[in-house]
Amino acid sequence: MDRDFLSIDDVTPRELHHLLESAAKIKQSPADYAIRLAGMAVALIFEKPSTRTRVSFEVGVASLGGHPLALSSSELQLGRGETIEDTGRVLSRYCQAIVLRTFGQERLEALAAGASVPVINSLSDYEHPCQILADLLTVIERKGDPAGRTLAYLGDGNNVAHSLLLGGAMLGMHLRVATPTGFEPIPQVVERAEEIATATGGSIAVGNNPEAAARGADVLYTDVWASMGQEREHAERVLVFTPYRIDADKLALAAGDAIVLHCLPAHRGEEITDEVIDGPASAVWDQAENRLHTQKALLLWLLGRE
């Protein structure tokens, strides 16, 4: 039966470790994997703008010997009323996997229900699991075994925060999330992350104090304050979120060798300062590159071509 990757919680901790180990091998020796997807096509559907996700998936599929088909919903009959389930049924006859960036998680679930090939969530309002694969690989590269490490996320309790909570918990990390009041992660995600952390030796802490979250952390992480679809709220959010900016003061509170992550695009001067994102603690550009390697590992695993 085909596996889908709609949530980071669709894999077990053991499978997550395996994916990250595979990604590290692919990064080290990409030529060894150059024809693993020969003769295969992967549909890439984008209902939201994308830079890193689109480019890393297109380049990744091509460098594995496959054929990437990058599509917007306006180019498909989706834009004229065809159901997402029927689109999945049809694309399954042509392609070996489907990648979708969309708004509601229910669209991914509907696509997966219609499709007979693996469906990958390349971002929804609920989760961003492909991003978190790259984040965790970056932590491993910089810090070694992530178990017992503390990651502090400052900002909006959004899709990235949800996937970080789940993925970090799977690796036994200590996750601290600090958001303004009313912007916390969804409770059921926090509860599930706590359940996972209980089994792996990690921990989950969600609060509203950014300084407390940052203190002694091995990793500081932030994201934009207004996600795609929330642009009209931007000015209002800046007023509320400014205390959660990662700047030199926040970095000084963290561990002396702490690294800084941002899933990008960055609104410099808002959620992160130039001094930090361009400074020696920043692992942001390695993090962006690692999208390529982790997504290649994910595709090979889902398609049985490792």
- What are the residue numbers of the active site? 101, 128, 131, 223, 263, 291
Peptide bond into 68 cis (omega under 30): no
Provide the token pair at 90.
């049809």
Q: What is d(CA 203, CA 173) in angstroms, rounded to the nearest whole number?
A: 7
Q: Which of 5, 100, 124, 120 is nearest to 44 (CA)?
A: 100
Tell me the DSSP string of 84-109: HHHHHHHHHHH-SEEEEE-S-HHHHH
For residue 79, the one-letter residue type is G
Q: What is d(CA 146, CA 13) in angstroms, rounded to the nearest whole number?
A: 12
Q: Give the burial string for 215-245 (b: 16+ CB within 10 Å, else e).
A: bebbbbbbbbbbbeeeeeeeeebeebbeebb
Tell me the DSSP string of 189-250: HHHHHHHHHHHHT-EEEEES-HHHHHTT-SEEEE--SS-TT-GGGHHHHHHHHGGG-B-HHH
Indicate the burial class of 173 (C-beta count within 10 angstroms; 0-12, 13-18, 19 or more).
buried
Please state, in angstroms and as integers, the Cα–Cα distance from residue 182 to each residue in 80, 157, 256, following that order: 37, 9, 31
Assign 282 to helix, strand or coil.
strand
